Amino acid sequence: MGKRPFGKSHAARVGFVTHSLLRDTSRDDEGSIPTNLVIGRNATTAEQEHREPMERLIRGLLPSAVPSWNGATRTLTAAASHRFRFTAFENLLSEARIRGLTAYNAFVDELTLQPEEYYEYVLSRLTFAGSKLIATTNTAAPRHWVKRRIDGGLFGFDRKFLMTDNPRLNAEDRAAVASSYIEGSPRFKRYILGQWVGNEGAVFPEIPLGGPPVGGQLIDVVLGCDYGSTSASAAVRADVYEMPDGGLHFHFPTSKYITPTDGAVVPPNVQAARIIQWAGPDPSVMFLDPNAIAFAAGFGDAPFRCEAGNNAVEDGIINMQDMFDCGEVSIADNAENAKFIEELEGYIWDQKATERGQDKPVKSHDHSVDAARYLLYSYRYTEPRVTVMSRANIAKILAERRRIECR
């Protein structure tokens, strides 16, 4: 059917460019030309989707301007005092692209596709009185960080527009767009009705939110951890209860994220120290990303054992689904678990893999989900546990890897 002009990006661009050009931005305090940020899903799409429309707007607002483009830095200079840089978040090290930059305004396309940490970092670059961040987005899962901020009144201004609000679409266009979605489907509810609903193809359609089980006896505390070298690392804690019928119940009271700061990677040993401090003395074992051998070395002095988690992805997901459906898991609905719950809601099947007859999830924003998968699958099905990642075993593995790489 082709791309339809829903209008939200155009309206936001007009406001962004107008506000940027009509300000007195001749020089900042250090004498350099201030920058306005244009942030997309990636740097290429930011340029492809917004550069040409913004050039037209600039010529309309400043007829004497002759916009020039620097492809190396993806910077559009509108006049002697107006500059627009096109960039994107691709991983948490993308912060380095704007580190130290002083920006007057920012335009963010599809805000729900950006991590909250990057949004906050962009805000920290807007240091002038009157600076604005203008963003567009479709709706997403009901506990997405953008929705939480809207509900909490944390945006200075937010406005919801439906397709019927777009004067550029006639009744025939609107009907054609609506008919391209199955009525009542998550996509229909999101893109036509503007509702914040769960993903289509969600791996976990129902998230088991709740408190500790009634009548259970706490018998163990365990951890799961997923390591990210240039992205976030996540750890989750589960309190294990024995139930009157002899079964086990896993209650997740809290979780922790560690993200690169100011574009700098947090060293593995520092991440490990932070997780040890967060975990406290109660856990007996932590199931870790089995590929994170160097990271595991930082847990040599931890008060709990560190074991390689079982990374059978498909079996691990099936196990989590079964445990969710059977009431064997509960997740505390609190601020500490906000990202964990958001990731669970956004965890979807890869449609292209499904078409090939494969069951694979989309690999995006899934750190705490992976940590929980290691924990639940390994605790239930890895017996006897012979893969303890002791300091001696880690040293042997690293030595073997170096020997192979040097051949």
**pLDDT (tens digit, 9 = 90+) per residue, 109-128?**
888 888 888 888 888 888 88
Q: For all residues of the chain together, what is the average pLDDT? A: 81
**pLDDT (tens digit, 9 = 90+) per residue, 18-29?**
888 776 555 455
CB atoms within 10 A of CB 175: 11
Give the Å distances, CA to CA, from 151 to 5, 135, 145, 305, 369: 28, 17, 10, 41, 25
Of residues 389 and 37, the one with the higher pLDDT is: 37
d(CA 313, CA 78): 50
**pLDDT (tens digit, 9 = 90+) per residue, 127-164?**
888 888 999 888 887 878 888 888 888 887 778 888 77
Extract the tokens encoding 155.
């945006």
Question: pLDDT-derived band of residue 402, with 50, 70 and 90 as boundaries?
Answer: very low
Contact status, residue 240 vs residue 220, Cβ threshold 8 Å: yes
Q: Which domains can be identified in the chain, with CATH numbers?
A: 8-191 (3.40.50.300), 217-405 (3.30.420.280)
pLDDT at 407: 43
Question: pLDDT-derived band of residue 349, with 50, 70 and 90 as boundaries?
Answer: confident
Question: pLDDT-derived band of residue 354, with 50, 70 and 90 as boundaries?
Answer: low
d(CA 117, CA 294): 25
pLDDT at 386: 36
- What's the pTM value of the predicted model, to 2 decimals? 0.63
